[in-house]
Amino acid sequence: MFAEFGYGVLLVSFIVTVYSGIAAVYGAMNKSASLVESARRAQLLTFPLITISALALIYLLVNNHFEVAFVYEVTSRSMPTYLKVTAWWGGQAGSLVFWSWLLAVFTSAVTLRKWDRDIEFLPWVIVVSSITLAFFLGMVVFYENPFTRFWLSNGNVVPGMFPPSAAATIFTPQDGQGLNPLLRHPGMIIHPPMLYLGFVSYVIPYAFAMAALITGRTDDRWTRITRRWSLWAWLFLSFGLVLGGRWAYDVLGWGGYWGWDPVEIAAFMPWLTGTAFLHSVMIQEKRGMLKHWNMILIILTYALVIFGTFLTRSGVLSSVHAFANSPIGPFFMGFVSLSLIASVALLIKRWPELRSETEMKSMLSREALFLLNNLLFMSILVVCFWGVIFPLISELFTGQKVTVGPPFYERATGPLFAGLLFLMAIAPLSAWGHSTVKTLGRALWKSFAAASIVTVVLIATYTQNVYAVIGFFLIALVLFATLHEFWRGARARQKAQGENFFSALANLMGRNRRRYGGYIIHISMALMAIGILGIEIFQKETQGTLSSGEELNIAGYTVQYRELASWDDRGAGVNYTRAIVDVYENGIYLGQLTPRIDYYFDSQQNMTIPGQRSTFKDDLYILLVDWQPVSTIGATFKIYVNPLVNWLWIGSILFLFGVIFAAWPENDPADEPARRKVTRDNRQASAAD
């Protein structure tokens, strides 16, 4: 009953979404406000409809309805309730429903805003968002239906929404296969929703950009409307990437947070274009420049979101993050191709009307440095895109998939990331319109001197590795230059307003959240770069099989194996195998770590849980790789020492704060005259009373 009901509501949602798009087009073409309003209300209706369908699916998941194929594939009786709920996005079909539900939330939210000043955008925003939502709902309704059931027909079990024959009966397995153990980690409970939130949020800026092209409105209004959408989308996508890195670090067992996996890169590529867009859109708002470029960036971001979803769901690339092979891959490629062609055609049509209002006159001006920043991001994007599609191209021409590994990406992108760090330090110090080497040098010399001193100290006490020295110098330069900007601004306000330093700093930041939120993000990026540099250059590893009492030595640490225990927890459906090791550093006892392997009976898969000892200096990361029968009393361990890696996670937390600070609602300057008038009228009314 719930399966038929959930599917029926999904089908109705699809029909309503298609109607919304058609009504919006006809309303805009015929200038019919009533049709546009009907389209808006239809779009608002998609949210409660998809919510009802999603609740039906969650009910089936939580209550062990294994006759539903999706429930059988992602849950089991031994799984706790909260994991059964999160299994909603743990499989292909359910994740598409989740994607659609989030998009319905955002499209409904955006249609509820005040449209008085931007009414010409409304129908076209509805059209673009409805087309996207209809595509995803269509994939669910016609190809990846999460409500498909098992039928027993002529002695065979056949999946289908409806009985394949009159004599067919519903078949209910005793238990499900259970969620992949890798997806039961807390990070993976949050990581996919964060990525989906980032992906879906970018649909809104894209919809407004297309509305601006269709209506011929070439000012910067669409960028101002979508500024906060873009920031929140970037936050969600960034946080999703960081959570994915933490998940990989804790569960995948290869001692790192990033493996240049194709699906990792698929999520990283729209982050690159989205980051470039956040920088270049400031140039359009401040100087009326780069209008063409901003349109290209938002079109690329939208296309890469759909392309990334295709890579995850098509099965064309092998990845621990990807879903199984699916017939929907060609449809995704068709949709992203048509969207890209239509968007570029609109852009070409409006190209002459998107001329810049001013010209770039200085190669050291802030807009010039921001443009260089964009070009570096695009260069990294080209490297990533080529690396991802190369296996497909090689298979097309040679019949064999040749995979591009991490060394290619690291060699190609390393200098580009270094360039971004350098620009992060100097670009905020340059002036809009015109800057010179002299003015930049005057603003930068103190930070440069401080960074040089720090670098000399590091050379003397920590490392002489050339790449590490360059990296640490650039990181120090970013930190000192950014902190100096905080100090300089607060001191100027302190002198002008007579406030104490901390009050001046708080008021300064509160009055310009976007600027100082950006500075906080720059500091967080520099801290994250410390962790990345540490693990990439200084990571050490060793492996060995030990009997009880034997030890392994690495980077000043001694790891001594004590014992191993294995037991079943039938209630949780897991077998735990845990080793106990003593840890010493330079002969000083630090404590015990307990690396383990969890074997899940339902899915018949292992999950590796490392033993970790974390400090600001490094991580000692121990994996239980294998163990021998009790009579042999032996276990194999793989040990990593990851210097400075925890600065990556510290920087990630600061990054989250910086984006929230920058995205916190501010008054729209264009609305300020009307707001002052309302305040004045209220005061006059109060005085009259």
User: 579 to each of 567, 592, 627, how far by Cα in Å?
Assistant: 12, 10, 9
Q: Compute the average pLDDT of residues 57-85.
A: 92
pLDDT band at 98 (very low <50, low <70, confident <90, very high): very high
Q: Compute the average pLDDT of residues 652-672.
A: 74
Maximum distance among all Cα pairs of the chain, rounded to whole angstroms: 95
661 close to 513: Cβ distance less than 8 angstroms: yes
In this predicted model, which residue has the larger pLDDT, 174 or 687? 174
Beta bridge partners of 60: none
- Side-chain-side CA neighbours of 34 within 13 Å: the count stands at 0
Q: What is the pLDDT of residues 266-315, one digit of tens each?
A: 899 999 999 999 999 988 888 888 899 999 999 999 999 998 887 776 55
H/E element holding 423? helix 406-426
For residue 230, what are its two tokens? Answer: 């873009």
Q: What is the pLDDT of residues 367-409, one digit of tens each?
A: 889 999 999 999 999 999 999 888 878 877 887 777 788 889 9
Query: What is residue 313's predicted lDDT score, i.e. its pLDDT?
Result: 65
Q: Which residues contact 513 (CB under 8 A, 6 or more apart)?
A: 661, 662, 664, 666
Q: Compute the average pLDDT of residues 610-627.
A: 92
In this predicted model, which residue has the larger pLDDT, 555 or 309? 555
Query: What is residue 326's predicted lDDT score, i.e. its pLDDT?
Result: 61
Give alpha helix (H) positions in 63-185.
Answer: 69-74, 81-86, 92-111, 122-142
Q: What is the pLDDT of residues 112-161, one digit of tens each?
A: 888 888 899 999 999 999 999 999 999 999 988 999 999 998 888 888 88
User: 651 to each of 532, 643, 645, 646, how far by Cα in Å?
Assistant: 11, 15, 10, 9
Query: What is residue 359's predicted lDDT score, i.e. its pLDDT?
Result: 80
Query: What is residue 578's predicted lDDT score, i.e. its pLDDT?
Result: 92
Query: What is residue 684's predicted lDDT score, i.e. its pLDDT?
Result: 45
Q: How many residues does the chain have?
A: 689
pLDDT surpasses 90 at 361: no
- State percent of the chain over pLDDT 90: 53
Of the candidates 535, 547, 512, 536, which has an alpha carbon nearest to the alpha carbon of residue 633?
547
605 close to 574: Cβ distance less than 8 angstroms: no
CB atoms under 10 Å from CB of 433, counted, come to: 15
In this predicted model, which residue has the larger pLDDT, 309 or 169? 169
Give me the DSSP letters along 487-537. HHHHHHHHHHH---HHHHHHHHHHHTHHHHHHHHHHHHHHHHHHHHHHHHH
- Measure the CA angle with vertex 536, ends 535 and 542; round to 5°: 65
pLDDT surpasses 50 at 66: yes
Q: What is the pLDDT of residues 211-267, one digit of tens each?
A: 999 999 888 889 988 888 998 899 899 988 998 888 888 887 778 888 888 888 989
Q: Compute the average pLDDT of residues 544-548.
A: 89
Query: What is residue 321's predicted lDDT score, i.e. its pLDDT?
Result: 47
Of the candidates 538, 429, 550, 543, which has an alpha carbon nearest to the alpha carbon of residue 481?
429
Query: What is residue 631's predicted lDDT score, i.e. its pLDDT?
Result: 45
pLDDT surpasses 90 at 525: yes
pLDDT band at 633 (very low <50, low <70, confident <90, very high): low
Q: Compute the average pLDDT of residues 591-616.
A: 90
Query: What is residue 571's predicted lDDT score, i.e. its pLDDT?
Result: 78
Phi/psi of residue 357, nearest 5 degrees:
-85, -20
Q: What is the pLDDT of residues 322-344, one digit of tens each?
A: 445 567 778 888 999 999 999 99
Burial of 570-587, coded b for 16+ CB within 10 Å and e otherwise, reads: eeebbbebbbbbbbbeee
- As to burial, measured by CB atoms within 10 angstroms (0-12 exposed, 13-18 middle, 19+ buried), residue 380 is buried
pLDDT band at 363 (very low <50, low <70, confident <90, very high): confident
pLDDT band at 675 (very low <50, low <70, confident <90, very high): very low
pLDDT surpasses 80 at 673: no
Q: How does the average pLDDT of the chain come out, rounded?
A: 88
* pTM confidence score: 0.89
Q: What is the pLDDT of residues 439-448, one digit of tens each?
A: 888 889 999 9
Between 17-31, 551-565, 631-645, the lowest mean confidence (pLDDT) is in 631-645
Cα separation of 686 and 684, whole Å?
Answer: 5
- State percent of the chain over pLDDT 70: 93
pLDDT band at 688 (very low <50, low <70, confident <90, very high): very low
Query: What is residue 138's predicted lDDT score, i.e. its pLDDT?
Result: 94
Cα separation of 231 and 202, whole Å?
Answer: 10
